Homo-oligomer: A and B are copies of this chain.
Amino acid sequence: MNQPLPGQPAQVPVLALGDVLLVSLQGELHDGMAEQLQQDITHRISTDRVTGVVIDISGVDMVDSFLGRVLAEIASTAGLLAARTVLAGMRPAVAITLVELGLTLPGLVTALDVDRAMELLNQRGS
């Protein structure tokens, strides 16, 4: 179980850019935060008529199996609510570690950065 350390933010901010949600993960994601984030995103998709979710992980040093599962679950849930999820800004070292761990994040669409993720969502939506 990952528990938040004292002084760490308990919630991940979710910004709306048009009809796309932008989630910027920083540092480690703890169990409670992950669950809260998934609920926030699904709630926002349904109330704000969101068609896409961009998860920026450029501030994340390490994606382990827990975070990989959380990301896959967010993408699946968003998909059920008709929103597409793009994972943006993965660091090269993170990609290498993921492949070494055998975690290739099936079902997740990736983009080099947030700009390209937005382009991808706009292209597909048109």
A contact residues vs B (CB 8 Å cutoff): 38-39, 42-43, 45-46, 49, 73, 76-77, 79-82, 90-96, 98-100, 104-105, 110-112, 116
Assembled-state Cα–Cα distance A99/B80 (Å): 9
Q: Which of A81, A82, A105 has the most CB of B within 10 A?
A: A82
Sort A-B residue pairs by CB-CB distance and give the 7 closest, nearest first.
Answer: A42-B92, A80-B95, A82-B110, A76-B99, A77-B95, A46-B92, A77-B99
Return 14 A-B CB contacts under 8 Å, by A number.
Answer: A42-B95, A45-B92, A45-B112, A76-B104, A77-B95, A77-B99, A79-B104, A80-B94, A80-B98, A81-B90, A81-B92, A82-B110, A82-B112, A82-B116
